[in-house]
Chains A and B, each alone.
Chain A
Amino acid sequence: MSEKKLVMVVDDDPDLVEAVSMKLESKDFRVAKAYDGQEAMEKIQAEKPALVILDVMMPRKNGWVVCDEIKKDEGLKDISVVMLTAVGDAVPSTSYTHHDGKTTLADDYVPKPIDMGKLMEIVDDHLGS
């Protein structure tokens, strides 16, 4: 097996990042972590992960914007993006509630609360391991 693939986990909840990272590491991925959209963008530029697991509602820069920036950047557009969407349970005053995946460029969507098994399957699918 070649070099371990790098997966970045982005969420403003450090415990969620930790939980997902732990699982990914147990499955022999390398993991990078970021806790808001801005930080994520900077680390993605620097570390070029193979896949980003990206939360939607985050401070500084939200997930949809981060996703757009990745997919519109020639150097980054091959990175797979898996969005963590909070289906139907968002706070009413925010605009990100439900997303059917048609208007963004993400490669996949996993609803919150996260089904870890499902998320790992999707990661495996995209990274072809």
Chain B
Amino acid sequence: MSADQDNQQDRQQTQIPDSSPEQESGADKSIRESVEDIFFQPRVLVVDDEQRIRDACQRMLSEEGFSVACTQNGEDGLDMLEQTHFDIILLDLMMTGLSGFDVLSRVKSLHPDTVVIVITGYATIEHSIEAMKKGAFDFLPKPFSPQDLRLVVRKAIEFIRTLQDIATEKSRMRVLINLLSDGVLTTDNQKNVALANPAFLRMIRSTKTNVQGNEAREVVSNSRLLEMIDEAMVQPADSFAEIADEITVDGEDESEATILGARCIPFRDRLQRKLGTVTVLNDITALKKLDQVKSDFVSMVAHEIKGPLNSILMLLNNVQSGVAGELNEKQSEILGRVADRIQSLTSLSSELLDLAKIESGLITQEKEELDLCEMLDNQVALYRDKASAKSIDLDMQQSGQSVPVMGNRTNLEELISNLISNAIRYTPEGGRVRVSAGIDGNYALLEVSDTGYGIPEEEQEHIFQRFYRVKNEKTRFISGTGLGLAIVKSIVDAHKGIIQVDSKPDTGTAFRIYLPTLQEGKA
């Protein structure tokens, strides 16, 4: 082979070591070195009863950098295979003694990793097809040119390399996944375990070590986790949603229970066929504990503030009401202002408490089947007086159907109450507040809209932040703590809902809250 030919086949040259490394560029060299790391020197066994063929193959393949061994019959070939691993066998089909077909079958059953290329004496297509059926990788019809031989061997090398790449990738992936501190579980489309890393098994407190191929429900005892896998599997091909939840795994005693954040997604191929699921667990026990400590602290502080403030307010009210003697007009006015400020401080501490409670415990809070329409009706009734005091038309639009949701009653009441109270406070006299509940697809839709001052667009993204208040010349005198919508958002989040705001300054604001309907509301 000429140097010209080599240069024309640069790509392949880098894959097969040859005897002229000094011609290589730096980049080629590094590729070549990494290839050699994986695939040092391919070993080829030539089994042919023709001396001429054996010699030709030996010479040519040696030049290409292969390590070559030859033998003239099948029995010896199989013996040599027992001694050493060969990557490629060039096998003559028509030999005296053991036939090439017999050798092929034996090689395929005993050394499946070895690639067999058959050499067919009379270029009969039937023989070639049969050999391929029995597991030959390719065939080389006699007579063949050095170029023919080189091409077919290079193809085989490419194939072996690809297999090795896959194997390397697989083992790298396995090492990586086993090293992760997050738990990983993959299941196939029959819900059998394809992979479960040690962290996963430890997190679900499984005592098993080798679970591959087991049914998922034999390995995982947590029913919610199994449900999540089921939910991921039944997702229609055109939708893709991550299923996330918190699960608690009980320990030996209560104090050892761990809380895990679990996320499960369906795993599909490019044609969207379901291949299985991937679940990732992370241990959030410490976070949850910290969160509880934080909430307890906030709760404690707020409580300690709220009590004294209420006492102060009561004392003050006594003075205001003349229990401690008559007041003049100026004194009354001053005390009125003081009382208002104290009142707003107590509201603040109440709302802080609410927020702390919501943030700490909603997930474990009891949920029940509730009718949004009925709850809305009740809350509207409570705000009727406040609305008419400002000549605001508070109107509940009846859809005539019940809107069932799974939720925590206290929280949802508070959510509705906050929205209606906001709407009334931020709507000027003579305005209108409309509330409604209905079904929208898989969601229950709760809507509270007003004809109020509205929220400037640049402020809309901030309104759910704690203590954020939209302040301008119109809203300056509206009292509030800036926690109302933060509470609303926390409640919506805890119910796995979505909140949207649609607002235009001086036109009005509409809050839309989507909560999963009861059918979908298991989560």
Contact = CB atoms under 8 A, between A and B. Distances in A.
Interface of A: 13, 15-16, 18-20, 22-23, 26, 88-93, 112-114, 116
Contacts of B310: 16, 112-114
A20 B314 contact: yes
Contact of A19 (B295, B300, B314): B314
B411 to A, nearest CB: 12
B353 A19 contact: no
Interface in B306-322: 306-308, 310-315, 317-318
B299 interface: yes
A99 to B, nearest CB: 16
B299 A91 contact: yes
6 contacts: A13-B311, A15-B308, A15-B311, A19-B317, A22-B324, A93-B296
B192 interface: no
For chain B, what secondary structure do more than half of its interface residues adopt (helix, strand, loop), or is it mixed?
helix
B346 interface: yes
Contacts of B353: 89
Given A13-B308, A16-B314, A91 B323 contact: no
Contacts of B350: 89
Contacts of B318: 19, 22-23, 26
Contacts of B268: none
B410 to A, nearest CB: 8
A16 B314 CA distance: 7
Chain B interface size, under 10 / 10 to 19 / 20 to 34 / 35 or more: 20 to 34
A89 B361 CA distance: 14
A92 B306 contact: no
B324 A92 contact: no
Contacts of B313: 113
A91 B346 contact: no
B314 A92 contact: no
Given A90-B303, A92-B296, A116 B314 contact: yes
A114 B314 CA distance: 8
Nearest to A12: B307
A91 B315 contact: no
By Cβ-Cβ distance, the 4 closest A-B pairs, closest first, are A19-B314, A15-B311, A113-B310, A16-B311
Contacts of A93: 296
Contacts of A112: 307, 310
Contacts of B308: 13, 15
A92 B299 contact: yes
Contacts of A90: 303
B224 to A, nearest CB: 25
B434 interface: no
A45 B308 CA distance: 29
Given A89-B353, A92-B299, A92-B357, A19 B306 contact: no
Interface of B: 295-296, 299-300, 303, 306-308, 310-315, 317-318, 323-324, 346, 350, 353, 357, 360-361, 410
Q: Which of B314, B315, B353 gathers the greatest number of chain A CB atoms within 10 Å?
A: B314
Contacts of B295: 92
B86 to A, nearest CB: 72
A36 to B, nearest CB: 15
B310 to A, nearest CB: 4
A89 B303 contact: yes
B323 A26 contact: yes
Contacts of B312: 15
A123 B317 CA distance: 18
Given A23-B323, A92-B357, A113 B315 contact: no
B180 to A, nearest CB: 35
A67 to B, nearest CB: 20
Contacts of B323: 22-23, 26
Given A13-B308, A22-B323, A26-B323, A91 B314 contact: no
Contacts of A92: 295-296, 299, 357, 360-361
A91 B306 contact: no
B397 to A, nearest CB: 31
B254 to A, nearest CB: 16
Contacts of B324: 22
Contacts of A89: 303, 306, 350, 353
A123 to B, nearest CB: 15
A93 B295 CA distance: 11
Contacts of B303: 89-91
Contacts of A116: 314, 317
A6 B430 CA distance: 50
Nearest to A89: B353
A78 to B, nearest CB: 28
A117 to B, nearest CB: 10
Contacts of B314: 15-16, 19-20, 23, 114, 116
Nearest to B318: A22
A124 B462 CA distance: 49
A45 to B, nearest CB: 27
Given A16-B310, A93-B296, 7 more contacts: A19-B317, A20-B314, A89-B303, A89-B350, A112-B310, A113-B306, A113-B310
A91 B296 contact: yes
Contact of B311 (A19, A23, A26): A19
A88 to B, nearest CB: 8
Nearest to A112: B310
A118 to B, nearest CB: 12
Contacts of A88: 410
B311 A91 contact: no
Contacts of A23: 314, 318, 323
